[in-house]
């Protein structure tokens, strides 16, 4: 038999009737592998007899030029040496072929079935489609065999010896495909079969018709379909405006996003997860315009205990679990009780985790659990997050020991390097100093505590707490860390923010001010040319991050859409998300502003007075904001959406409890709020005390912590998750102090080793407590 050495044509590729082809092509096929090589034989398909005859008189030397079709070139040599080499090679090859099921026994080469694909073909009259044919043995492996083809009506669809279907009739040499009969386009159906080794293949139905020029789809819902609903779709084919649907074969169906909807081979659409996509049908290489389709978005999501739909909170001890239940109403008003597509988010993973529908208490503190519809599992193409009610978790007990990290933004003496010291909160011992790549200006942990980020004069660096190592990762991002995503992988940096040691912008020239977003998982640094960015916050689900600029602009960053911008006005200096995530709050120069998360719409201000800092209670919808004389504790009532509107939710209601510390006007360096809402702590500039608010949220009581003799002011610090203690650096004494928040006393002072460039001692003004 003569082997067909032409390159195989891809099934489904059309060739016009005037296109040239190889007139000398043979009819032999090798199970879809024209080279005759079988993959299960490691690419070796020479018979043992061929190898014996070739090597009995010639040795084999491999050459890269492949002069012989098998890649071997003969070279004369001694017969006895060649015989020994050849015999060993034959035995080795026999072992491989036999051991791998690739032996040449007649049973393995016997054709037991012939597979012809595709099962249906729709071809324009006068055009060509290549069939795929595979002769197989009883094990389902392809074997070498001569394949012939047969058409039930060669006047409708004729087939060449190479398996090429002509929509009409081939000429004698299989070069020209004639799609006309009596001056009209050929139209009708025929079946094609293939035969190899006496075995007949499955039949392929061929529909021949005038050239398809357009396809349309109907039957899609006017508005949306609820999850799991099905509906049949209908496709129509046209040839120059004339419908020919009854002449074509089965349509192919495609959904641009199978997460949102799928369509089977019969055109039955199944609504999967909320979102929008496009549906289109195709025939004869022509597809319809994708028709817009929507699986209904959730309007109201309810999270509760599995045992009681009205219970939306749990108090747990560590290691305890709580089973959740989730149901929701969609835009069609249908209540769905099972199979939710939502991401379950804990805003304080060190205290409580959520895995599917189970909360696990990890460490004392508070956490809020929210079910959210966000891409890529929900809301694809809509990109407007939908949030459930807040499920409140309180984990009882005392926080375990963790680590405090302290460093200084002041340059050290000449000849020395910047360092950071760790302090064990259990033993109060100072660990080995950690070297820094340059002088830092910021130190921020992600809420999970997996890593911290440092802005330095040499660029962005990251702290690995487990390895006690700081690594420079983005030298171009020379600025202050404004925010870190909850997982610790992404951070926002700005050089328009103030250096904490000098109180002036790191880059004073607005034309040179930049925002950077760095993703550690991809090592991608994005540069945003915007001036004035001084504060930022990632939402707990990491879907959005709000970046506040001191010129009243707010920038919205997301990996799911391009940078967005809206004007808030004033000069915002801080931003934080409400625990339930429906709204973000901005501390502004003349107000406490509220922005809807799903669409960035600006709500009425919660308060029309200036605020310096803002932070949430994590297990309650309560925002704590620093005014000029104290705190404003805003209990926020979020009204669920209803009807068909999922975004924006109704405007929230505010119940504000003001608290005056009685120290006159002050500037807050820092605000810390206990995750369980037990208290808040303010570090005021220029006062030798720490300001405390107990009894949050509704009945706040002011208290102060007096600092030791010689103290000038608190600089920087943080609380442990249970809210019972804090670590704060103190200027004047240049110490890092342990504060007992139950008794509001300074109970321990740890000396720090930091010095300025002039060798005078300085307190560390960058202190963080690792969440744990």
Q: Give the pLDDT confidence score for residue 539 in this predicted structure.
A: 97
Q: Give the pLDDT confidence score for residue 4 in this predicted structure.
A: 36
Q: Give the pLDDT confidence score for residue 177 in this predicted structure.
A: 97
Q: Verify that 86 and 138 share a domain, yes or no.
A: no
For residue 230, give its domain range.
Answer: 214-295
362 domain-assigned: yes
Q: Verify that 192 and 116 share a domain, yes or no.
A: yes
Q: Verify that 27 and 133 share a domain, yes or no.
A: yes
User: Of 70, 99, 128, which residue sits at a domain end?
Assistant: 99
The residue to which tokens 């074509």 are assigned = 248
749 domain-assigned: no
Q: Verify that 129 and 223 share a domain, yes or no.
A: no
Q: Give the pLDDT confidence score for residue 36 in this predicted structure.
A: 34
Q: Verify that 380 and 306 share a domain, yes or no.
A: yes
> Which contiguous run of DSSP H or E holds residue 178?
strand 177-178
Q: Verify that 303 and 282 share a domain, yes or no.
A: no
Q: For the chain (length 772 residues), average pLDDT per consecutive 10?
A: 34 38 33 34 33 34 32 35 40 41 59 96 97 95 96 97 97 96 95 97 97 97 95 97 97 98 97 97 96 96 97 98 97 94 97 97 98 97 96 97 97 96 97 98 96 98 97 98 96 97 95 98 97 98 97 97 96 98 98 97 96 98 98 96 89 96 97 97 97 94 97 97 97 97 97 96 97 94
Burial of 248 (0-12, 13-18, 19+ CB in 10 A): buried
Q: Buried (b) or exposed (e) across 500-523, using 16+ Cβ within 10 A?
A: bbeeebbbeeeeebbbbbbebeee
Q: Verify that 29 and 169 share a domain, yes or no.
A: yes
Q: Give the pLDDT confidence score for residue 698 in this predicted structure.
A: 85
421 domain-assigned: no
Q: Verify that 249 and 312 share a domain, yes or no.
A: no
pTM of the entire predicted model? 0.82
Q: Give the pLDDT confidence score for residue 95 in this predicted structure.
A: 42
Taking CA atoms, 83 is separated from 49, 86, 673, in Å, by 14, 5, 87
451 domain-assigned: no
Q: Give the pLDDT confidence score for residue 642 in this predicted structure.
A: 80
Q: Give the pLDDT confidence score for residue 107 in this predicted structure.
A: 60
Q: Verify that 142 and 79 share a domain, yes or no.
A: no
248 domain-assigned: yes
Q: Give the pLDDT confidence score for residue 644 in this predicted structure.
A: 84
Paired tokens of 316: 């747990």
Q: Give me the CATH number covering residue 274.
A: 2.60.40.1080
590-596 long-range contacts (CB < 8 A, ≥24 apart) are 592/623, 592/625, 592/632, 592/634, 593/568, 594/652, 595/546, 595/554, 595/566, 595/568, 596/647, 596/648, 596/649
Q: Give the pLDDT confidence score for residue 492 in this predicted structure.
A: 98
């Amino acid at each position: 038999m003569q082997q067909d050495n032409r390159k195989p044509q891809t099934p489904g590729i059309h060739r016009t009737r005037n296109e040239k082809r190889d007139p000398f092509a043979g009819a032999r096929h090798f199970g879809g592998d024209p080279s005759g090589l079988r993959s299960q034989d490691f690419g070796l398909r020479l018979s043992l007899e061929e190898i014996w005859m070739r090597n009995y008189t010639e040795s084999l030397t491999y050459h890269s030029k492949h002069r012989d079709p098998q890649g071997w070139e003969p070279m004369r040599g001694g017969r006895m040496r060649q015989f020994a080499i050849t015999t060993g090679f034959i035995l080795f090859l026999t072992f491989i072929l036999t051991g791998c099921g690739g032996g040449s026994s007649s049973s393995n080469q016997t054709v037991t079935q012939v597979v012809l694909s595709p099962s249906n073909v729709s071809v324009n009259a006068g055009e060509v489609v290549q069939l795929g044919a595979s002769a197989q043995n009883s094990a389902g492996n392809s074997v070498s065999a001569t394949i012939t083809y047969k058409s039930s009506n060669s006047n409708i669809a004729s087939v060449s010896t190479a398996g090429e279907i002509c929509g009409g009739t081939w000429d004698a040499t299989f070069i020209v495909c004639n799609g006309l009969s009596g001056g009209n386009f050929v139209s009708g159906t025929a079946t094609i079969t293939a035969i190899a080794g006496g075995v007949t293949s499955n039949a392929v139905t061929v529909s021949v018709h005038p050239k398809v020029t357009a396809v349309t789809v109907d039957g899609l819902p006017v508005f949306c379909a609820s999850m799991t609903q099905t509906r049949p779709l209908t496709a129509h084919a046209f040839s120059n405006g004339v419908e020919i649907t009854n002449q074509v074969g089965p349509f192919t169906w495609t959904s641009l996003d199978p997460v949102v909807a799928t369509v089977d081979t019969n055109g039955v659409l199944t609504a999967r997860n909320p979102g929008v996509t496009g549906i289109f049908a195709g025939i004869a290489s022509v597809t319809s315009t994708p028709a817009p389709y929507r699986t209904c978005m959730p309007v109201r999501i309810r999270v509760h205990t599995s045992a009681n739909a009205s219970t939306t909170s749990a108090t747990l001890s560590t290691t305890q679990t709580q089973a959740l239940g989730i149901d929701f109403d969609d835009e069609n008003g249908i209540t769905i009780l099972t199979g939710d597509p939502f991401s379950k988010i804990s805003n304080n993973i060190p205290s409580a985790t959520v895995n599917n529908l189970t909360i696990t208490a990890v460490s004392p503190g508070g956490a809020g659990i929210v079910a959210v519809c966000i891409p890529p599992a929900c809301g694809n193409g809509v990109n407007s997050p939908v949030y459930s009610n807040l499920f409140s978790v309180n984990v009882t007990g005392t926080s375990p020991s963790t680590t405090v990290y302290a460093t200084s933004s002041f340059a050290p003496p000449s000849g020395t390097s910047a360092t950071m010291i760790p302090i064990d909160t259990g033993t109060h011992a100072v660990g080995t100093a950690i070297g820094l790549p340059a002088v830092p200006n910021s130190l921020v942990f992600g809420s999970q505590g997996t890593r911290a980020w440092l802005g330095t004069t040499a660029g962005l660096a990251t702290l690995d707490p487990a390895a006690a190592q700081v690594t420079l990762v983005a030298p171009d991002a020379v600025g202050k860390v404004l925010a870190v995503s909850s997982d610790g992988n992404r951070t926002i940096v700005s050089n328009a923010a103030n250096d904490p040691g000098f109180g002036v912008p790191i880059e004073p020239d607005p034309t040179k001010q930049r925002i950077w977003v760095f993703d550690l998982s991809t090592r991608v640094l994005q540069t945003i040319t915007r001036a004035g960015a001084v504060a930022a916050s990632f939402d707990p689900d990491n879907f959005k991050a709000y970046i506040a600029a001191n010129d009243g602009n707010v920038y919205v960053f997301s990996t799911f859409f391009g940078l967005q911008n809206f004007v808030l006005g004033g000069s915002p200096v801080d931003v934080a998300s409400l625990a339930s995530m429906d709204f973000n709050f901005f501390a502004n120069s003349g107000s406490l502003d509220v922005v809807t998360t799903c669409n960035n719409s600006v709500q009425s201000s919660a308060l029309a007075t200036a605020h310096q800092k803002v932070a949430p209670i994590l297990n309650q919808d309560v925002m704590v904001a620093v005014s000029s004389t104290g705190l404003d504790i805003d209990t926020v009532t979020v009204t669920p959406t209803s009807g068909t509107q999922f975004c924006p939710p109704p405007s929230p209601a505010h119940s504000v409890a003001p608290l005056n510390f009685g120290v006159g006007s002050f500037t807050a360096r820092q605000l810390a709020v206990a995750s369980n809402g037990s208290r808040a702590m303010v570090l005021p500039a220029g006062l030798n005390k720490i300001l405390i608010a107990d009894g949050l949220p509704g009945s706040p009581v002011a208290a102060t912590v007096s600092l030791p003799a010689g103290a000038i002011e608190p600089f920087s610090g943080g609380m442990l998750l249970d809210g019972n203690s804090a670590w704060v650096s103190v200027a004047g004494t240049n110490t890092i102090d342990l504060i007992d928040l139950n008794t509001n006393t300074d109970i321990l002072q740890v000396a720090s080793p930091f010095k300025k460039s002039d060798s005078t001692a300085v307190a560390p003004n960058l202190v963080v407590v690792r969440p744990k």
